[in-house]
Amino acid sequence: MEKKPMGSGPRRGPQRREEKTAQHRINERIRGVDEVRLVGENLETGVYPIREALRIAEEQNLDLVEISPTAVPPVCRVIDYQKFLYQQRKKQKEIKAKAQKVVVKEIRFGPQTDDHDYAFKLKHAKGFLEEGSKVKAYVFFKGRSILFKEQGEVLLLRFANDLEDLCKVEQLPQLEGKRMIIMLAPKKKETK
């Protein structure tokens, strides 16, 4: 059997190509249209032939960017395209930063948890709900303790009842394998 020299076969793994796919058609890439609706600063908004629109953008040392390609005629804006992309990325970052991340905290019980442990875990759950986190409380059944699943359900319902002023029940106790789970979400704080 003949060995092939290294590098002669098909290349595997990620190929590094710097292909930038533009989100918008700009300048001469705007094809297949005779006229466009032109908007932007320092110009009169209206419908212009594509050549005229390109000339106006070039005179201002800016780019002609197709903003709404599906409109009839397509809407183009005369702007600095790089600055426009920068501002869009900045807006996306702000939106992402403002979006609330949902944090789920777990609290584990045994089917025969005593009152002291229960009170300790209840105190922690109150703290989690007050900080805006969801709480996933579950009773874990080991071995034959699955026989006490009614006790586990009673325990979880008591837990939800003790926290009713801070939360709403998202999911009632449900048996999933060896766990009985209840989901609690914090109540929205009323603004005065």
- What are the boundaries of each domain within the chain? 27-96, 104-186
Number of alpha carbons in the 13 Å side-chain half-sphere of residue 59: 8
Q: Which CATH number applies to 27-96: 3.10.20.80, 1.25.40.10, 3.30.420.40, 1.10.357.10?
A: 3.10.20.80
* CATH annotation of 104-186: 3.30.110.10
What local confidence, expressed as pLDDT, does residue 20 receive? 47
What local confidence, expressed as pLDDT, does residue 189 receive? 63
In this predicted model, what pLDDT tens digit does every residue of 69-113 receive, in sequence order? 888 888 888 888 888 888 889 998 888 877 767 778 888 888 778
Per CATH, 27-96 and 104-186 having the same topology is answered no
What local confidence, expressed as pLDDT, does residue 3 receive? 57
| Omega within 30 of 0 (cis) for the link into 73 | yes
pTM: 0.46
d(CA 181, CA 167) in angstroms, rounded, equals 16
Low-confidence ranges of the chain (pLDDT < 50): 9, 11-21, 191-192
What local confidence, expressed as pLDDT, does residue 5 receive? 54
* Helical H segments across the chain, by residue range: 50-59, 81-98, 115-130, 149-162
